[in-house]
């Protein structure tokens, strides 16, 4: 079964069948899709207090056991709530993978929720990431395929980045190449630490204008924390970016690699939209170009 077939298969009726056959104590609770579901998993609300997540493709399945193993160990050491896995489901009803039930956390994604004070938001997010980095990482899962190679050396994506640069040609400023080379020339010296791997606005919950929880640890692991800095260019600006950077307390080499991570994502997004219809790609291209401009400007300031 292909990933496309799996995504087409998963709906609220399938989730209700899986719950009814494997977790009778929750049978009969209403199932409804979550509005902002993400790509790696299809996500559904189960009653008022539960959440069901089903991997949308084979490559995301290892994240299920990782979260069940590590989130309960990480949670007591962090200053904000993170998802709490309550049960692991098995393949069934035509769905081929393991899946999860979590506790529901109230809030709205920072991608749509208004922030009360962006400086407070940035500082609290950086404090969360510092606390995560401080947790003993000696037995944690080393960065690799399970983390989409977040936390691994940027060289993993060197060929892909250079192909994107070749496709884009003069559609992007020439110093994009300098940003990428600076990132490659700033290797991680260790020791490996815990990283989240996908610090994006959609994975940050806001309640009453404040950061309330950090979601989706599917790309988490132990390695280089530079990947967790990309939010500095994808969401934060001006004083909030500076507050985030000051509180995060990472060296310039880490920021250079962070710019590399943000650059990579912007470039592959732009390259992937070169032949797309203009109206379909407009919003995606505009956001990728905005992030690219922020990264390039920050690189010039640091030079």
Assign domain 3-105 one CATH number from 2.60.120.10, 3.90.1150.10, 3.30.200.20, 3.40.50.1820: 3.30.200.20
Please state which architecture CATH assigns to domain 109-302: Alpha-Beta Complex (3.90)
Measured CA to CA, the distance from residue 84 to residue 71 in angstroms comes to: 7
φ/ψ region of 238 (left if φ > 0, alpha if ψ in -120 to 50, else beta) reads: left
Measured CA to CA, the distance from residue 63 to residue 139 in angstroms comes to: 16
For the chain, list residues with pLDDT below 70. 37, 275-280
Please list the residues that pair with 48 across neighbouring strands.
none
User: Up-side HSE of residue 64: CA atoms within 13 Å toward CB?
Assistant: 23
Every domain of the chain with CATH number 3.90.1200.10 lies at: 109-302
Q: Which pair of tokens denotes residue 227?
A: 């990947």
Give 113-167 pLDDT, tens digit per residue. Answer: 999 999 999 999 999 999 999 999 999 999 999 999 999 999 999 999 999 999 9
Q: Residue written as tokens 């404090």?
A: 127
What does pTM read for this prediction? Answer: 0.94
End-to-end CA distance of the chain: 49
Give 97-109 pLDDT, tens digit per residue. Answer: 999 999 999 999 9
Please list the residues that pair with 288 across neighbouring strands.
none
The whole-number pLDDT of residue 276 equals 66
Every domain of the chain with CATH number 3.30.200.20 lies at: 3-105
């Amino acid at each position: 079964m292909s990933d496309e077939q799996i995504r087409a298969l998963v709906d609220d009726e399938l989730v209700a069948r899986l719950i009814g056959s494997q977790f009778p104590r929750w049978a009969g609770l209403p199932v409804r899709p979550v509005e902002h579901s993400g790509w790696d998993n299809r996500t559904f609300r189960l009653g008022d207090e539960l959440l069901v997540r089903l991997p949308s493709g084979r490559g995301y399945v290892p994240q299920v056991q990782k979260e069940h193993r590590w989130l309960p160990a990480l949670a007591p050491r962090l200053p904000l709530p993170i998802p709490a896995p309550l049960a692991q489901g098995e393949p069934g009803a035509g769905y081929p993978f393991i899946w999860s039930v979590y506790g529901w956390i109230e809030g709205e994604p920072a991608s749509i929720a208004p922030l009360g004070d962006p400086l407070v938001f940035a500082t609290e997010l950086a404090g969360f990431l510092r606390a995560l980095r401080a947790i003993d990482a000696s037995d944690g899962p080393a960065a690799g395929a399970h983390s989409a190679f977040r936390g691994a050396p940027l060289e993993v994506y060197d060929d892909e980045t250079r192909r994107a640069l070749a496709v884009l040609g003069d559609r992007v400023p020439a110093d994009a190449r300098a940003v990428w080379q600076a990132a490659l020339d700033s290797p991680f010296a260790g020791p490996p630490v815990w990283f989240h791997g996908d610090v994006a606005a959609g994975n940050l919950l806001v309640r009453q204008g404040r950061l309330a929880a950090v979601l989706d640890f599917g790309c988490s692991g132990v390695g280089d924390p530079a990947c967790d800095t990309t939010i500095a260019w994808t969401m934060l600006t001006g004083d909030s970016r500076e507050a985030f950077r000051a509180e995060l307390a990472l060296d310039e080499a880490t920021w250079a690699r962070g710019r590399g991570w943000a650059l990579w994502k912007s470039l592959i997004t732009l390259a992937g939209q070169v032949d797309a219809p203009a109206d379909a790609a407009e919003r995606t291209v505009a956001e990728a170009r905005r992030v690219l401009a922020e990264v390039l400007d920050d690189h010039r300031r640091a030079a």
